[in-house]
Chain A
């Protein structure tokens, strides 16, 4: 059922993701530990994050750096200065009954805006990024609408959050989920957040079907739930489409246990957050020097890198992803290319049968991987100074012994046998001795086996020429 709903026309989904900067040691505005998971309730609080009167927020500079890493990775525009705003609303999980957040209207400038993320063939636009504090956590007895009381734990209050808001560019629940997985990989790659941690990445969504009213869905706890919640909501709303009035603009709550969304409040009663600039925090200058430092210190995320490899080196998406997956391997790849190798050849080599060995060797960083030698090796291959088999033998030798090409090249017989008559002789010899000849006529595996037999007789034989000759022979 969900599959059928997921491809419905006219679905528009926007996401609002709250991503905790879990790599930070302390909270956003005080020096309390941010390691709040599995702690006793209200253990990690101080006068500031508990909202004791007279305390003042002190901005965690590292949080700004981490938020900017995300901004840069998502290709956002970063302003010269940004400021904090108070978002005013009463809720028991908010120690001050306002949240220090950011605002991009009425003179406010969020820390980043106008980015995008490539999602297969389309681009999803990121409207803005905001840095803000997490509220505490409420525990209800039973369900939110029936609980006789709620318990408040402020350990989470003040944890640094980056809010990422997309444009309504998703057309299916599946697409939204794919984006979230990519986003998680990005923030993890940036070393700013561990999306696997419970509650580290939370998502609200807005959904409209066929130009109907926009419905917000809150309380989606995991990415698995996102797809379920969105598909439920798309189905729910599509039953309204065509009826008078259509779906109502409202905020709904995803009830994970019952797998349904329930109405929280209609938009008519929508809250007015009375935003205004936080007077206790001066405007934050994001100087070019500061941004340069952030750029220099941030690791390039494989997702972003893969996109670059496609553009810069013309790698296929699959190949680019494969090379970029491991940062050390990617570094090696870039070194090889910078020293003159053809990018597609280098990528093929690195991600081919030696993939695991290359990864291990790159990770060890002990110098076994010699970029210059691989460049030479690839050139030898191209110029037919070595066969594929010989090159592989040399490369394997490099990685197991740590010796260089100069040394290994001597002990490996190189040079390619290109002489057609001697190859024809070898092919005929194999055909005489093998009983797989009949099979090789129709089965490529058997055919390759025969090619291998020829190469065993003469490792220097040019594999392509062998295959050509063999094909001619057995078809005859």
Chain B
């Protein structure tokens, strides 16, 4: 089978796929219940999937709910993104140990290759965006590259949209279009649940051959299309992106930024949950004896004061300047920098903002004319 080919598997056959991946040395990661949420963690058996659970999401709110059916993937993206595996929150870069008159450098051994189960369309787009950030330029990130090229991706097409979803506005979903090895659409038939499988790569085709599948019927293909059509119609949020890139460049003095700064906690949650935010800081640690040192890279945020600390102080001192930087980067000059937008419409920054600040609402408000820039109007 080649890319674009379809097949149908009985739902329980997904266990065979997990076992085939484990047999090839993959660490299999997928959605599972923890801390009253659906998070991404190690999943080696389909019984660990959140069968029969869904989530209810609004600005600053996330709650689990029981479903009326037993769908395995009947929920939307949660607090975690795949970023935490491809671009880990804390990553030792290298260590050094004193050795006579010199020192010896040690580099951490790479971890096992990863298999992601249940990657949504917006998340595929986010991974593609981070690929561009880490691998696209003149200098690429070796540890990211090593993890990324060996990762096997099983996508899942969304059968519902949450209250904070807006992938349709950002052109990133709900259908998994590219960047996967296999993609699944869960079909909850009256008598038996199945997955419609789409092959996305040669590696995906090889893996599909190791489990039992059959060709799809016309009715099954139509049912899968209907699932995606229904999801696309039910987006919880909308963002008008027409001329947004150009418009935001002109809104640096809009009064709306002051209003946001009154509500914004500058806590950094939005940047941590964003699947494309990639910023880090690098810390050096030394042992008490002065014989060993370690350099660690950690997720950082443009909402911290230290992040923009240059000689003598922080460049973006006010919360207004920091939020403005984040939103404008995400929706406007990310395009200048990387050739793609920085937002995929996953809605995480809206759901996981402790005070429920909504990027779609703010971007809409910023479309309205602001005040004219006054003389000597500092940020």
Indicate whether A and B interact. no
Interface residues in chain B, defined as those with a beta carbon under 8 Å from any beta carbon in chain A: none
